[in-house]
Copies of this chain bind each other. A is one copy, B any other.
Amino acid sequence: MITIRDVAREAGVSIATVSRVFNNADAVATDTRREVRAVAARLGYSPHGAARSLITRRTATIGLILPDLYGEFFSELIRGVDHAVRSQGYHLLVSSSHADRAEVDAAMALMRGRVDGVVVMLPDRKQEHVPLAPSRLPLVRLGGAPHNGDGDAIVIANREGARAMVRHLVSLGHRRIGVISGAAGNSDAEERIAGVLDGLADAGLGQDALLRAAGDFSETSGFRAARELLRSDPRPTAIFALNDAMAIGALAALRAEGVSVPSEIAVAGFDDIPMAQFLDPPLTTVRVDISAMGARAANRVLSHLGNGPSGSGVEIVPATLMVRRSCGNPEAWRPTIPESLS
């Protein structure tokens, strides 16, 4: 390994000077600086991150802890976080597939001395109160319930979004709505259920307008749940899956059963799967800008590190109702075509 010493020796200066050059300290003669840079380039030297952060007490890295990495949701999320983080000169340390709280704690412990702050998405509701005690790192929670005691958080407007969807469905004349719920204990799912109830209440409809079927956010569970809903009598005229993956599963089930969508049964989803807009039959969804959510979380952490404007508390990311028109109509595709081409 080639160290700062090698550069110093080769350039005929002290290591302090080399260090100054690489830290853009001003008190270095222009000639010296140029010489050092040249030698460093020739030797292929670059500072050692670990050594630097040991003395500096900053790693220029933020950690991202996720429950799982599946589908476009996390792709978007990581992209948002990465973008925000890099724009401030930080690195991104990703750790995913943490099914329970113990694993999250372990991941956080492993991150000590590797990151300056961390964005955490908890896998489960009952594990939502993050222990700020052991970890003294700036921490921002991502997703989950809005009111969650202490700490910063970026959460989705789950309740409002679901409420808007139900109101929309009711306005289309639906009086019997099947809801495919999310993973048990998942607070995003629970918030959305609450929003569904809100929406029904808004419309003055009772619980009999609601048929529930259990899902776990997976496509397979959506397929299964939709088939179950079809067996109820009378069956629903609309199915609202609490995330897009399950909505897609539901579409597959309806197609398999020969049910036409949306004329016989309308299908709605929730989340952000950009490609959902290309699906046929059409899927009305509540869209969330996941990438922006990730960026906000990252910026929040960075703000605690002294970068950018500071903020704290719970921030809510809007969930917007996206209505798709019937699919046979070319107009329905219009929104997917860039403005400049239409």
A140 at the interface (CB under 8 A from B): no
Query: Does A75 belong to the interface (CB within 8 Å)?
Result: yes
Place the interface of chain A in its size category: 35 or more
**Which chain B residues border A94 with CB–CB below 8 Å?**
78, 82, 92-94
A220–B95 contact, CB under 8 A?
no
Complex Cα distance A314/B164, Å? 53
Of A50, A59, A136, A258, most B-chain CB atoms within 10 Å: A50
**Other-chain contact of A49, B86, B114, B274, B338 (Cβ < 8 Å):** B114
Contact A72 B71 (CB under 8 A): yes
Q: Which of A9-17, A104-112, A187-195, A316-324 contacts B (4 or more CB under 8 A)?
A: A104-112
Q: Given contacts A50-B59, A82-B69, A113-B48, are A223 and B337 in contact (CB under 8 A)?
A: yes
Distance, CA A279 to CA B113, complexed state (A)? 46
Cβ of A85 to closest chain B Cβ, rounded Å: 10
In the bound complex, how far is the Cα of B54 from the Cα of A232, in angstroms?
Answer: 64
Which residues of chain B are within 8 angstroms of A281 by Cβ–Cβ distance?
280
A185 within 8 A of B: no
Complex alpha-carbon distance, A201 and B98, angstroms: 50
Q: List B contacts of A113 (CB < 8 A).
A: 47-52
Q: Are B46 and A330 in contact (CB under 8 A)?
A: no
Give A50 to B273 CA distance when docked, in angstroms: 38
B79 touches A70 (CB 8 A): yes
The residue that A109 contacts in the complex, of B46, B51, B256, with Cβ under 8 A, is B46
Considering the chains assembled together, what is the distance between the CA atoms of A280 and B280 in angstroms?
A: 5
CA distance A224 to B51 in the complex (A): 51
B-binding segment of A121-129, A235-243, A247-255, A297-305: A247-255
Contacts of A27 in B (CB 8 A): none
Q: How far is the CA of A136 from the CA of B48 in the complex (A)?
A: 13
Contact A338 B75 (CB under 8 A): no
For residue A102, CB closer than 8 A to chain B, the reply is no
Chain A 303-332, CB-CB to B under 8 Å as 1, else 0, gives 000000000000000000000000100100
Tell me the smallest distance from the CB of A259 to a CB of chain B, in Å. Answer: 11
- The answer to whether B341 and A223 have CB atoms under 8 Å apart is yes
| Chain B residues, CB < 8 A from A148 | none
Task: Check A32 for interface membership: any CB of B closer than 8 A.
Answer: no
Min CB–CB distance A308 → chain B (angstroms): 19
Residue from A83, A86, A334 with most neighbouring chain B CB atoms (10 Å): A86
Q: Which residues from chain A sit less than 8 Å from chain B, CB to CB?
A: 1, 44, 46-54, 57, 59, 61, 69-72, 74-75, 78-79, 82-83, 86, 91-97, 109-114, 133-136, 220, 223-224, 248, 251-252, 255-256, 258, 273-275, 278-281, 327, 330, 333-334, 336-338, 341
Q: Known contacts A46-B112, A82-B94; can you find 13 more A-B pairs with CB under 8 A? A: A46-B110, A46-B134, A50-B50, A51-B54, A61-B114, A69-B78, A69-B82, A71-B72, A72-B75, A74-B79, A75-B75, A82-B95, A252-B336
Q: List 25 A-B contacts (CB under 8 A).
A: A46-B112, A48-B113, A49-B50, A50-B59, A50-B113, A50-B114, A51-B113, A69-B75, A70-B79, A72-B75, A78-B94, A78-B96, A86-B95, A86-B96, A91-B111, A93-B93, A93-B94, A220-B338, A223-B341, A224-B341, A252-B337, A255-B333, A256-B330, A256-B333, A279-B279
